[in-house]
């Protein structure tokens, strides 16, 4: 599912901004891009994502900005030594120009790290990531609601086709019975026939064409699918919906193989088309 979330906070002496973006993907596929000073906590970020997101290609990006005026501690003694050394070199070699402060500061070990408090902790970073995940989940929830409406509309079309098949099935059996009797009459050309044997063949034909059980199971799967879509709590339902969809497709195929009727087959085709549309969305639904 697609979504976006962002959050900001402090990690040690730095202000950190985290952005999350997700696009449709059947599985959990993270791509994490952290600044060098935060990269050692990438496994912690990955695990925080895995706990909340089960499907989707997730892109994580972060940037840092020092929140204080100073990013380190200046070693004044070393600064003075470098300044004196540069002045001496300038005078001895007859060079012009003043000693630039920025030049001295860039020399080795003049500016030291601000200490452990500047680096921060993994917990501080994960707190920002989790806040971004919360924002992301809100946008994904909104998309999920829109997708639920779409899937329920497709299911209503499927239910309409199933209702027409259920109404047509008894008529189809009667038509097949009459066709069998007519075939026997033509073939025997007025000769006496065993009515009991014909009745047995009609019973076998009716059993072979019966789709009552398939329609009942199909209805149960639809009810379970709708229940999973409408359940509360924000629990992942994508895998369960995928399983139910497979079961519905199996019943549709069995119904089609038993149909032996142009009108019923047309509705079976409609059902399979709608199930394919549903499948395309369910593969990405968390």
Summarised one tens digit per residue, pLDDT across range 183-200 is: 666 666 667 666 677 667
Cβ atoms of residues 84 and 32 within 8 Å: no
Closest-CA residue to 283 (of 159, 149, 152, 151): 151
- What per-residue confidence (pLDDT) applies to 113? 54
Closest-CA residue to 1 (of 39, 55, 50): 55
Report the chain's mean pLDDT, rounded to a whole number. Answer: 83
Domain made up of 3-69+120-135: CATH architecture: 2-Layer Sandwich (3.30)
pLDDT at residue 115 greater than cutoff 90 = no
Segments making up each domain of the chain, as ranges: 3-69+120-135, 73-112, 140-282
Q: Any idea which of 98-107, 110-119, 252-261 has the lowest mean pLDDT? A: 110-119
Strands 56-66 and 14-23: what pairing? antiparallel
Cβ atoms of residues 57 and 22 within 8 Å: yes
- What per-residue confidence (pLDDT) applies to 117? 47
Q: What is the dihedral of CA 241, 246, 251, 255, to 10 degrees?
A: 120
- What are the helix (H) ranges across 121-261? 122-188, 195-209, 212-230, 238-259
């Amino acid at each position: 599912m697609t979504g976006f979330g962002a959050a900001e906070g402090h990690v040690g002496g730095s202000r950190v901004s985290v952005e999350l973006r997700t696009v449709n993907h059947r599985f959990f596929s993270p791509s994490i891009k952290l600044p060098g000073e935060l990269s050692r906590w990438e496994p912690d970020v990955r695990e925080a994502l895995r706990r909340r997101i089960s499907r989707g290609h997730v892109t994580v990006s972060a940037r840092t900005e020092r929140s204080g005026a100073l990013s380190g501690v200046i070693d004044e003694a070393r600064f003075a030594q470098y300044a004196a050394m540069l002045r001496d070199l300038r005078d001895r070699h007859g060079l012009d120009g003043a000693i630039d402060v920025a030049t001295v500061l860039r020399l080795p070990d003049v500016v030291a790290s601000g200490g452990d408090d500047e680096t921060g902790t993994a917990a501080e970073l994960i707190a920002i990531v989790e806040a971004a995940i919360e924002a992301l989940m809100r946008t994904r929830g909104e998309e999920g609601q829109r997708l639920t409406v779409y899937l329920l509309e497709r299911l209503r079309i499927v239910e309409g086709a199933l209702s027409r098949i259920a109404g047509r099935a008894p008529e189809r059996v009667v038509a097949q019975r009459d066709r069998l009797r007519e075939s026997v009459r033509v073939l025997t050309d007025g000769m006496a026939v065993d009515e009991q044997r014909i009745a047995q063949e009609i019973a076998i034909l009716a059993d072979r064409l019966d789709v009552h059980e398939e329609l009942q199971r199909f209805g149960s799967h639809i009810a379970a699918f709708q229940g999973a879509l409408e359940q509360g709590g924000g629990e992942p339902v994508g895998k369960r919906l995928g399983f139910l969809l497979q079961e519905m497709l199996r019943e549709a195929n069995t119904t089609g193989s038993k149909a032996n009727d142009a009108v019923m087959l047309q509705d079976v085709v409609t059902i399979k088309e709608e199930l394919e549309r549903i499948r395309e969305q369910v593969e990405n639904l968390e």
